[in-house]
Amino acid sequence: MFYQATHLTRYIYDQPVAQCQSEARLTPRESERQRVLSSRVESSPAPSAYHLRRDYFGNQVVAFAVFGSHRQFVTTATSLVEVLPRPDVALPAVSWDQVRDQLAMPASDSALAACEYVFDSPYSTARPELLAFAEPAFAPGRPLAEAAVELAHRIYSGFAYVPASTSIETPLIDVFHQRRGVCQDFAHIMIGALRSLRLAARYVSGYLRSDTDFQGAEASHAWVSVWIPGHGWLDLDPTNDTLPSDGHVTLSVGRDFGDVTPLKGIALGGGRQHIEVEVRVEAQPAG
């Protein structure tokens, strides 16, 4: 599938801003199943300085600054991407406890690279409550892929998707006990549960195609990847109880939301601010 993705963020300030500096992780990520045909990030007012770089996780970062008074700041990211469907192949049969042991003593470059995702990060940590929640799906010797799919289903069926019910400042354990939240919460819960089992899990930010019944369409979306030897990273979307395919567009990957925040920065002045976000991901004709 070919998609035109447009992500607009508008900051409206009570008072003039003298200057601001921002970082955007709004460029789709290249992979075996995703090809970026074009991508640009623009702002109004136009930036005085503009710089591209790759971060530690391989995500493209657009850093820019506006030096001039303004009461409104708009960033628009526009991309054309091709996303291929997930291959229809059997999921790996390696057991989750074998994977845990491999990550504890990595003997390959891929295991060594994955093991850094076993450890706690600021927004997603191992917890006894998350371990107890995950354990029914992880019987000894059960294939990791099969167990992870069940864990995603347990989150989907056990938590209510309620837009605006939480913020990024809401502690993970509060979301867990309240049993409601949004996609970033469910991704953090699943990652924390997998890390509680000493498995490698990472956070994926992206979009869903607009003409879908999935929860989280027309907004920034989040899901999870779990590392499986011989396969690589397997994507799972606990918000929608599905394995992402060609209806998901990947932006960035990291340990948690803090590593992949679509747009962040600092502003001098401005007083209180109001933020508006618009996302559209529309299918395009091939070619």
Q: Judge whether 199 lies within some domain.
A: yes
pLDDT < 70 positions in the chain? 287
Q: How many angstroms separate the CA atoms of 154 and 162, rounded?
A: 17
pLDDT of residue 262: 96
- Domain boundaries, position 36: 2-83+261-284
Same domain, 127 and 202: yes
Phi, psi values for residue 172, rounded to 5°: -55, -40
Residues 158 and 272 in one domain: no
CATH of the domain at 71: 2.60.40.2250
Residue 107: helix, strand or coil by DSSP?
A: coil
Tell me the CATH number at 201: 3.10.620.30
Beta bridge partners of 57: none
Query: How many folded domains does the chain comprise?
Result: 2
| Confidence (pLDDT) at 49 | 94
Can you give the pLDDT at residue 88? 85
Is pTM beyond 0.75? Reply is yes
* Phi-psi category of residue 16: left, alpha or beta, with phi > 0 → left and psi -120 to 50 → alpha: beta
Let me know if residue 254 belongs to a domain.
no
For the CA atoms of the chain, what is the radius of gyration? Answer: 19
Contact 202, 184 (CB under 8 A): no
Mean of pLDDT over the chain:
96
**Residue at 256 is within a domain:** no
- Would residue 49 count as lying in a domain? yes
79 and 100 co-located in one domain: no
**58 and 173 co-located in one domain:** no
SS3 255: coil
